[in-house]
């Protein structure tokens, strides 16, 4: 497929790896630990494991997996709300497939479906709208999740529902925003990060500019990256080069898709249909100010939270589950007590094991815990 | 969740709703192209373009020149290292 195979060329990767190794050596000469770069997006985490990129990196450079998987950060209380919605006899609840197995406080959507709730998996919010058109006597709710990549498609679907006069369609809106989450992470003193590999497809929508605050206020370099192996290696090299040159800027590696100002149509649709919540609860990160979207008051007739009464409970995570620390990059998946034993992709306890983009699922599937970076000082150069 | 798949726009199936048929890895799928066609632009102008498709929507055009430039830079870097290794 065009622009896919070309970015998987092993020969080109060799050149990048040598540059990364040289920069890693240079940067760790006067400090105790490895350079820690967080890849924010779950899509990057998945690619890093799929192509074994971690095992190619020198021990002076460590990738930290961030909270950028929308399934993983969905709190239990919101899942309970979705299940409560699905239990209304007139409701057909629709959502993406990877949400179905995420555990709520008592059960997942899949278990609720097995008990008779009408829950249907869709590939696009437009499929949910089509279900609404075919079932005029039912209320079709789309359980909308995702970062700014997914939010425009949901917003455009609402605008289409409006233009077609469809009344029996609404959103249970759980869209989240990436930059406030990064700011929340950076305020955690336990997490020592040197820079970020920024999410490519979120940035295709919002542009590269919104990360300026990370570079300027928090003094961390950011490189917006594509998802192929060479994209990720090149982005890592670009962040290291910034560190070596003492720069903190936002750079864009994914120029074939990401423009400085993002996608104006997508941004306009989001601005029309959504408004920013005062705060939104993230699994493992707690309440983060201005980090999620809710329906704009002008679109209250498409808002499932306005149409239905929901429990709105905050539910603590399972005691043994370390999803919170893993999402913050403070712990690695194998440091969780239940990783691979009590918690597996077939029987997940925490959300990081459910989604294929979650760090635990990636380690479980492709994992190489032996590649964990040792402290530079103990390596005996 | 936030991944997309490259596809090539084959034809416009509904100009009013801005729907197109896109070849995604050999499979023809209906895709909404509202995000990549400006109000003043004829909808047909994007036929043949490569786009990134995410949950049934084309989110952006893929710029072939930018992709080529990136690949050339990587090529150059690999060549320099090969030369250095040979000397």
The series of mean pLDDT values per 10 residues for chain A, 381 residues long, is 80 93 96 94 92 94 91 92 97 95 92 97 97 98 97 97 96 97 90 94 96 96 97 97 98 96 96 98 91 98 96 87 86 91 88 86 77 43 36
CA distances from B74 to A8, A12, A76 (A): 11, 6, 44
A204 CB within 8 Å of a chain B CB: yes
The yes/no answer to whether this complex scores an ipTM above 0.90 is yes
pTM of structure = 0.92
> What sign does the CA torsion over A46, A42, A371, A246 have?
positive
The pLDDT tens digits for B13-47 are 999 889 999 999 899 999 999 999 977 888 888 99
Q: What is the pLDDT of residue B38?
A: 78
Residue environment code for A326-356, b if the CB has 16+ CB neighbours within 10 A, otherwise e: bbbbbbbbeebebbbeebebeebbbbbbbbb
d(CA A336, CA A342): 10
Structure-token pair, residue A57: 């990196």
Strand stretches in chain A, DSSP E = 35-41, 61-68, 91-95, 119-121, 139-146, 169-175, 195-198, 222-224, 250-252, 274-276, 279-282, 286-289, 293-295
Q: What is the pLDDT of residue A377?
A: 43
End-to-end Cα separation, chain B, in angstroms: 46
Q: For the ranges A169-173, B11-15, B56-60, B81-85, which has the lowest average pLDDT?
A: B81-85
Q: Which residues of B fall within a CB distance of 8 Å from A127?
A: 56
> Among partner residues B1, B59, B75, which is closest to A70 by beta-carbon distance?
B1
> Among partner residues A43, A156, A355, which is closest to B57 by beta-carbon distance?
A156
Q: Which of residues 305-344 of A touch B (CB under 8 A)?
A: none
The packing angle between helices A125-134 and A151-163, to 10°, is 30
Residue environment code for A246-267, b if the CB has 16+ CB neighbours within 10 A, otherwise e: eebebbbbbbbbbbeebbebbb
Mapping DSSP to helix (H, G, I), strand (E, B) and coil, where does residue A15 land? helix
Do B36 and A227 lie within an 8 Å CB cutoff?
A: no
Q: Which residues of A fall within a CB distance of 8 Å from B67?
A: 3, 6, 256
Do A204 and B32 lie within an 8 Å CB cutoff?
A: no
């Amino acid at each position: 497929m065009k622009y896919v195979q070309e970015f998987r060329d092993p020969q080109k990767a060799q050149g990048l790896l040598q540059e990364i190794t040289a920069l890693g050596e240079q940067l760790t000469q006067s400090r105790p630990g490895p350079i820690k770069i967080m890849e924010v997006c779950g899509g990057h985490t998945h690619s890093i494991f799929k192509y074994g990129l971690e095992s190619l990196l020198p021990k002076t450079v460590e990738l930290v997996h961030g909270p950028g998987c929308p399934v993983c950060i969905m709190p239990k209380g919101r899942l309970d709300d979705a299940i409560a919605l699905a239990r209304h006899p007139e409701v057909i609840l629709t959502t993406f497939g990877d949400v179905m197995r995420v555990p709520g406080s008592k059960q997942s959507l899949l278990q609720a479906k097995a008990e008779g709730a009408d829950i249907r998996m869709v590939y696009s919010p437009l499929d949910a709208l089509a279900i609404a058109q075919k079932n005029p006597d039912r209320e079709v709710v789309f359980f909308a999740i995702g970062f700014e990549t997914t939010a425009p498609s949901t917003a455009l679907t609402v605008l289409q529902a409006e233009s077609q006069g469809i009344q029996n369609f609404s959103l249970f809106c759980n869209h989240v925003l990436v930059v406030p989450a990064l700011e929340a992470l950076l305020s955690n003193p336990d997490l020592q990060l040197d820079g970020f590999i920024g999410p490519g497809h979120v940035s295709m929508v919002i542009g590269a500019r919104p990360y300026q605050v990370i570079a300027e206020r928090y003094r961390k370099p950011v490189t917006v990256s594509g998802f192929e192996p060479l994209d990720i290696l090149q982005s890592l090299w670009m962040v290291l080069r910034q560190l070596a040159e003492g720069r903190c800027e936002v750079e864009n590696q994914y120029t074939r898709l990401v423009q400085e100002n993002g996608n104006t149509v997508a941004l306009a649709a989001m601005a029309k249909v959504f408004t920013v919540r005062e705060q939104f609860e993230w699994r493992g990160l707690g309440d983060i100010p201005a980090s999620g979207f809710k329906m704009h008051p002008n679109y209250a007739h498409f808002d499932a939270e306005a149409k239905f009464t929901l429990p709105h409970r905050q539910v603590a995570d399972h005691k043994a589950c370390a999803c919170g620390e893993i999402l913050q990059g403070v712990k690695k998946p194998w440091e969780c007590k239940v990783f691979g034993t009590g918690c597996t992709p077939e029987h997940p306890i925490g959300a990081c094991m459910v989604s294929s983009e979650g760090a635990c699922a990636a380690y479980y599937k492709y994992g190489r815990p032996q590649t964990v970076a040792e402290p530079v000082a103990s390596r005996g150069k | 969740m936030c991944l997309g798949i490259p596809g090539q726009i084959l034809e416009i199936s509904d100009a009013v709703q801005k729907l197109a048929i896109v070849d995604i890895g050999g499979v023809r799928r209906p895709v909404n192209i509202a995000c990549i066609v400006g109000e003043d632009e004829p909808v047909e102008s994007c036929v043949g373009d490569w786009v990134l498709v995410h949950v049934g929507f084309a989110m952006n055009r893929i710029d072939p020149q930018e992709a080529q430039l990136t690949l050339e830079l990587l090529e150059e870097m690999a060549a320099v290292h090969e030369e250095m290794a040979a000397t």
